[in-house]
Structure 1
């Protein structure tokens, strides 16, 4: 009897282990956050809220940009190659073929003359948010930051429409991009320890509210 009962005990134990594994898996799925992106919201809440600083002393020259990145390429050239599709360049690193997606207005561009490289947080906005206290070297690093989502492709028309406005003053016409835009704006300001205004903060919170429940960007905002 003992010999016959042992296999049954092992089967029962194996079933119990399997059942516990399933229950734990279900618990993990239930507890996994499905709200809007907590990380971006947490970073936003850490940003100092201040009125904009004076523009006295500002000029774009205080933010040296499109600096040499080697191989005959400057920062703009690097972004064009990084964010484009099928990009071919000449010996001077200038595009001779390719196409670029402008997420602000949901457009594909095939002529690099129609393409701008936009500072997500505009230089003038950065100045008003604390960069006025930086050294010129710090401002140069900010204006050529290839590691954060500060430099992106945009159509010339949308870039001109945006100017140096903050999210409470201007939002991308492509509403499907609002989530990503807000997250990028927050990430840049958080890393560089820049401030936001109260209206700017409210606008960013509203835009984060458009994110998918998984906390990711809306699917399809950037077509392949």
Structure 2
């Protein structure tokens, strides 16, 4: 490229690198070491027992649903007059500051569904794990308004989760037969939470929903104490990606058996030039597999899930994600998080 183009790019990249470095420092300081999940998630054996006891019935009364039938984000007893939303953001956030003892003005929050943390109060939404419309069609249509209000503001069960606006919108009112979190490491707890909420409130499940719940409980939790079909791990602490020197980030797993032919690796990387980045997965035996080569489209950032056949590998051991910035031009980046489902 012409010298002036290279110099311009390097100048811009240097400024971007400075900004990214500051953001990375803030991320490490503000982000919780791991996601704070809601209380009351049952053991796998309890969830299996609860699932076995759920009534299977087709959904009904869906056309009469109205969100206002579930008075939500009301003041909750024992929280100092805080609404359920305010209370969850305070309880499950990190370094949360409030303006009046209730309304958060700053802090950081982990969205477990997509394995993303945010420092924006407006981006930290509260998701009903069993959506209000799902509850309505599963039996809540027959409840009193007081019962629906209690359900919509339940801070003591695993019904209310922090989620980014994107994850909340993606989930919408789908059940586990239609949607599962992209963060595979939370899927076991997500399914157990769903089952427990349906059990607590004596809500029905439709046949496809129950079939999916059983499949997910077996695959991600090892229903009944067996070995899960999938073995999952994640790393959520941010790490700088230096120029020229590979960043090695590790996840240790202790699962029996061989990995899946449809294993997946999800990564979230901040970098001004995605084409500069090469990504490889290194198995415990040292075998390296390229997930992304350098080059190609040179847009900013990488948020992607890569499918890879790992059936020749034992699952147990230390897995390494190697991220390399192949271009020495003043730009740097951050590995925000990554997860592995094998």
TM tier relative to shorter chain: 0.7 to 0.9
Per residue, is there more helix in 1 or in 2?
1
- Say yes or no: does 1:52 pair with 2:62: no
For residue 73 of structure 1, give the secondary structure of its aligned residue in structure 2. Answer: coil
CA distance in structure 1 between the aligned counterparts of 2:236 and 2:215, rounded to whole angstroms: 24
Structure ranking higher in strand proportion: 2
Q: Does the 8 Å CA contact 1:103/1:221 hold for their aligned counterparts? A: no
Tell me which residue corresponds to 2:151.
Answer: 142
Give the alignment's TM-score, normalised by structure 1. Answer: 0.78
Question: What is the deviation of 1:219?
Answer: 7.3
Q: What is residue 115 of structure 2 aligned with on the other side?
A: 106
What do the CA deviations read for 1:75-100 (whole angstroms, capped 9, x no partner)? 10000001101111112622122111
Aligned residue-pair number: 189
- Consecutive aligned runs of 4 or more in structure 1 exceeding 2 Å deviation: 69-72, 212-215, 217-224
Whether 1:87 aligns to 2:96 is yes
Shift of 1:58: 1.3
Q: What does residue 41 of structure 1 align with?
A: 48
Report the CA distance shift for 1:130/1:172 in structure 2 as closer, same or farther (over 3 A). Answer: same
Where do residues 95-174 of structure 1 align in structure 2 (5 Å cutoff)?
A: 95-174=104-183
Residue in 2 that maps onto 1:190: 199
- The C-alpha deviation readout for 1:17-56, integer Å capped at 9, x for no partner, is xxxxxxxxxxxxxxxxxxx922111100100000111213
What runs of 5+ residues in structure 1 fail to find an aligned partner? 1-35
**Taking structure 1 as reference, are residues 95 and 220 closer, same or farther at Cα in structure 2, changes over 3 Å only?**
farther
- Using structure 2 for the length normalisation, give the TM-score: 0.52
| Separation in 2, partners of 1:206, 1:110 | 35
CA contact (8 A) 2:184 2:232 kept: no
